[in-house]
Amino acid sequence: MSNITQMLKGLLEGCILKIVSSSETYGYEICEKLLNYGFQGISEGSVYPILIRLEKKKLLYSTMKKSPLGPMRKYYYLTEEGIKELKWFILSWEKIKQNIDNVLEG
């Protein structure tokens, strides 16, 4: 499992950017979506540091909003740079995926 986790670390940033691009969302909801997409073993402990890193890179920004239940939530949004980074991630992933598929089918 740790080998898969290592491989995913670089890819999770792009996946999180894609999730955030769909609609405003908060950390726990991002974790839930990743689990629903099949990313078993992904925890809040892995997602929150990525969110912080993406904010520091100015790919995301956040605002605090009232939650319908419980405390305030930090909602995330893509910046213009985040939109560019997401487009780059998708193009890069398509190329890498094709190369790996070529090797595996080869």
Task: Name the 3-class secondary structure at 17.
Answer: helix
**Total structural domains in the chain?**
1
Greater model confidence, 11 or 68: 11
Question: 82 pLDDT exceeds 70?
Answer: yes
Question: Which pLDDT band, with edges at 50, 70 and 90, does 42 fall under?
Answer: confident
Among 50, 47, 45, smallest CA distance to 37 is for: 47
Quote the pLDDT of residue 34.
95
Phi, psi of 75 (to 5 degrees): -95, 140
Quote the pLDDT of residue 60.
98
Cα(104)–Cα(106) distance, integer angstroms: 5
CATH code of the domain containing 63: 1.10.10.10
Quote the pLDDT of residue 106.
84
Residue 16 near residue 85, CB atoms below 8 Å? no
The pLDDT tens digits of the residues spanning 27-37 come to: 999 999 999 99
DSSP structural state of residue 41: T
pTM (two decimals): 0.89
Query: What is the arithmetic mean of pLDDT over 6-30?
Result: 91
